[in-house]
């Protein structure tokens, strides 16, 4: 919220990523920026790599967008990251709308829940 309150909407995603990194530092939140995500299939690590905007606390994927409106493909991206990594929680945050939009996605036993 601090980043959106300060910058509003309309900047490129990279601007919000940099600002959010400053917030994480100031709040003492442990994170990796542009963190490589290894994808596994049947226990085998695949060669294809993806990069999440942030991984916080070594277990929460944070994916940023700066688009007019989130669509299912944006949610699918985070869901795929969760399935591939076996992480439990992902946050999809959109700075592109007139108000900050975010969605918490979970990868639990019963499947991914948004």
pLDDT of residue 109: 57
Comparison of pLDDT for 23 and 111, the residue scoring more: 23
**Domains, the chain, ordered by start:** 2-113 (3.90.320.10)
Comparison of pLDDT for 51 and 86, the residue scoring more: 51
CA distances from 82 to 11, 36, 61 (A): 27, 13, 8
**Is the confidence at residue 97, as pLDDT, over 50?**
yes
Cβ atoms of 107 and 76 within 8 Å: the answer is no
**Is the confidence at residue 42, as pLDDT, over 70?**
yes
pLDDT of residue 114: 55
pLDDT digits (tens, 9 = 90+) for 49-82: 889 999 999 999 999 999 999 999 999 999 988 9
Task: Provide the pLDDT confidence category of residue 107 given band limits of 50, 70 and 90.
Answer: confident
- The three-class DSSP label of residue 25 is helix
């Amino acid at each position: 919220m601090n980043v959106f309150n300060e910058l509003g909407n309309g900047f490129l995603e990279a601007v919000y990523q940099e600002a959010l990194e400053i917030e994480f530092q100031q709040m003492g939140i442990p994170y990796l920026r542009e963190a490589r995500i290894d994808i596994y299939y049947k226990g085998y690590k695949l060669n294809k790599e993806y990069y999440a905007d942030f991984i916080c606390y070594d277990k929460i994927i944070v994916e940023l967008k700066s688009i007019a409106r989130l669509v299912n493909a944006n949610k699918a991206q985070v869901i795929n990251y969760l399935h591939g990594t076996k992480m439990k929680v992902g946050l999809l945050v959109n700075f592109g709308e007139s108000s900050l939009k975010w969605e918490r996605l979970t990868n639990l036993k019963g499947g991914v829940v948004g």
